[in-house]
Amino acid sequence: MKSYSYFPGCSCSEGSGIAYDISTREIARSLNIELLEIEGWNCCGTTPYESLEEFESTCLAARNLGLAAQRNLDVVTPCSACYLTLNKVDQRLTQHPWLEAKVNRVLEGEGLNYHGGQIRVRHLVDILLDKDTLEVLRSKIKRKLTGLKVAPYYGCMLVRPGFGFENPRRPVSLHRLIEAVDAEPVSFALQASCCGGAFIISEPDVALNLIRRILASVKETDAQCIVTPCPLCQTNLDAYQGAVNTKFGTEFNIPVLFVSQLIGFAMGKGFGGLAMEKGIVSPMELLRSYSPKRKPGLYPALYFYLRNFYSYAKKLSRD
Amino acid sequence: MSAADFIREVSHLPGGEAIAECIQCGTCSASCPNVGLMEYSPRKIIAMARAGMRERVLQSNSMWYCVSCQLCSLRCPKDVKPSEIMHVLESLSIKYGLDSKRTRNPAMYKAFVDSIKNYGRIYELGFMIKFCLKTNPFALFGLMSVGIDLFLSGRLALTPSKAGDTGQKVRALLQRAHAVKEA
């Protein structure tokens, strides 16, 4: 059993990426990984805070590192944005002793302390690729996904600027994980391009166009679904796929899974345990063809009936 | 304020250290997905900053269109980290109250940060509503359809996160940070 401090981040913990957190915890248990959530963690600050108040945002991220340092375990986060921010702040504290001293004066007030490089911040994809974890994963595969064509969408912040485990110019980590579960990775041109991130709120036209480009690039291949390691990318590609179709008159209908969901599915986990029902472009139809049929219970059936009715009504009103 | 003063100000902030190393090759501008929306391309804004055109740089919308995709920072042959310089310029333009009105991103960032200051974590629904009310309340209708989709699939928290006293602790931390910064 390997133990890590776990930093879920805001959007995974109860926001739009909650399925990522649920499925990550679900697979970790079976892969002999113990995830100990950092108690009282706060938002890492990410791009917006850094853009407004540089020093405050550094302190905010450093507080999480200070909390994690109390347990002295490496930090694991499933969120690419948190991964980038926490690593960047760690790097800056190492690079600038004056900044480290100043930040520690702020952290002291809460009895915390952190030195640059004291602990490592790793991404979920990184720890899944550890040699022994990969072996455990291979031994636990229950569903045969042979022939399932998966487009690995890396996004930006997992690969760039790069904190050690991935080649930032030619990323391979998702390809390797998809191969590990016997599915087939399908490379596409824009696999590490930007999805627009939070611009979907402030400048939706800009972001929708970036999303359209990525979906069109996937469509050029014969991939059946997209897999991503980032909650922002998943929300943009999945929840806004309908908006892209309305705006550009396209007909994209491609499910977007979290990397943890695909792995859990291959390990034979149930749909509910992996929060598969939270996909807006439902992956159910695709996944059922790889899974023996079972009669759904009454409430899930009612739920799906209502949701299908809603999307049908919405489609009618759009036409 | 002379040109040298402005470069010094930028290069003394974490992230802006290497601005003097830029060789104006334009790789950053060629890599940028949003260069078409910027008043001045990343290459140009670095040149202008080094020429001491402080007001025009800080008032422009260029850095606010940076999505932090890091492609420029990866490809830059001199390791200037243009995306980090963009963040430095953003924080300086806020500091002097010069942030551009020709993009909604500063308003979005402010609503985002308010959410952190209040709760210690992001309250997605609250921050989106706040941002729309401050800029264009009609944009809420545009977000409604996606909002309902997210709500029906259980991905939209209606109330802010209940994370014990995290909000309080973060507010105290930020107060201390402010005091240390000013000291």
For every one of its 319 residues, what pLDDT tens digit does chain A have, with 9 covering 90 and above?
899 999 999 999 988 999 999 999 999 999 999 999 999 999 999 999 999 999 999 999 999 999 999 999 999 999 999 999 999 999 999 999 999 999 999 999 999 999 999 999 999 999 999 999 999 999 999 998 999 999 999 999 999 998 988 999 999 999 999 999 999 999 999 999 999 999 999 999 999 999 999 999 999 999 999 999 999 999 999 999 999 999 999 999 999 999 999 999 999 999 999 999 999 999 999 998 887 666 667 777 788 778 878 877 877 776 6
Strands A256-258 and A225-228: parallel
| CA distance to partner chain A, nearest, from residue B51 (Å) | 22
Nearest CB among B65, B73, B121 relative to A42 is that of B121
- Please name which of A9, A14, A15 lies closest in space to residue A239, comparing C-alpha atoms: A15
State which residue of chain B sits closest to A235, comparing Cα positions: B150
Bond into A161 cis (ω within 30) = yes
- Please name which of A121, A45, A58, A43 lies closest in space to residue A93, comparing C-alpha atoms: A58
Q: Do B131 and A202 touch (CB under 8 A)?
A: yes
Residue B138 parent element (H or E): none
Confidence (pLDDT) at A14: 85
Cβ atoms of residues A225 and A287 within 8 Å: no
Q: What is the dotted CATH code of the domain comprising B3-95?
A: 1.10.1060.10
CB contacts of A10 in chain B (<8 Å) are 121-122, 124, 161
Question: Does A273 contact chain B (CB < 8 Å)?
Answer: no
- CA–CA distance, A99 with A54 (Å, rounded to integer): 11
Residue type for position A230? C
The string of pLDDT tens digits covering residues A188-209 is 999 999 999 999 999 999 999 9
The CATH 1.10.1060.10 portion of chain B extends over: 3-95
What is the total residue count of chain A?
A: 319
- CA–CA distance, A89 with A96 (Å, rounded to integer): 10
Cβ atoms of residues B39 and B21 within 8 Å: no
- DSSP-based three-state secondary structure for A48: helix
- DSSP-based three-state secondary structure for A75: strand
Confidence (pLDDT) at A144: 87
Q: Is the dihedral of CA A158, A160, A164, A167 positive or negative?
A: positive
The string of pLDDT tens digits covering residues B60-93 is 999 999 999 999 999 999 999 999 999 999 999 9
Cβ atoms of residues B161 and B123 within 8 Å: yes
Whether pTM exceeds 0.90: yes
| Residue A36, phi then psi, degrees to nearest 5 | -100, 105
CA atoms within 13 A on the CB side of A106: 31
